[in-house]
Amino acid sequence: MATNLKNLSSYNPNDIPNASGMRIGIVVSEWNEQITHALLEGASDCLKKHGVSDENIMVEYVPGSFELTLGAQYLLDYTLPELDAVICLGCVIQGETRHFDFICDAVANDIHRLGIDYATPVIFGVLTTNNQEQALERAGGRHGNKGVEAALTAIKMAALRNKLEAQFEKDKENIFGKL
């Protein structure tokens, strides 16, 4: 999505499912802490605004964006009751070497793979910017807060999964209960 065409924090609250009862994990990179803390604040506030209680938001920190996926996997493996979604928050700023490309590619692919492997929404809330100014603009600045967008995505995807899972169980009972 082209950020210059949209403020990440602008949305219609009526379009967001009620998230009360949802359990959401958030994994936050400690690297670029000023940015990632602002993303966490945006995500947490948004989750609470839509009904997720404080005790149902699990926040864990990892050293950098590269470690977000393993942190997310740990949350998925070792949190009971199970989480409805995991949000990965980080910030990778372009430097003079290709390190940026390798980190961004690995993190994006691994977050995607985790969601597929666990059949649980694992949300990519990682800023990949050319400079610090662009990151700040997307962490509460003029382009809103990508953490809010990540939280909304987590709520919507968890609600979709929960709805389809409940419908599947109901259909299964109706079909096999009649045999």
At residue 158, does pLDDT exceed 70? Answer: yes
At residue 2, does pLDDT exceed 90? Answer: no
Q: How far apart (Å, rounded) are the C-alpha atoms in residues 30 and 36? A: 7
What are the pLDDT digits (tens) for 102-139?
Answer: 999 999 999 999 999 999 999 999 999 999 999 999 99
Dig out the tokens for 59 from the structure: 């926040």
| Active-site residue flag, 99 | yes
Mean pLDDT of 148-177: 93
Q: How far apart (Å, rounded) are the C-alpha atoms in residues 151 and 18? A: 13
Token pair 């977000």 in the structure block, residue: 68
pTM score of the predicted model: 0.92
Q: Grade residue 97 by pLDDT with cuts at 50, 70 and 90.
A: confident
What angle in degrees, to the nearest 10, is found between the helix axes of 99-118 and 68-78? 20
Q: How far apart (Å, rounded) are the C-alpha atoms in residues 66 and 177? A: 47
At residue 36, does pLDDT exceed 50? Answer: yes
Q: Which of 37, 99, 112, 143 is catalytic?
A: 99
Mean pLDDT of 40-66: 98
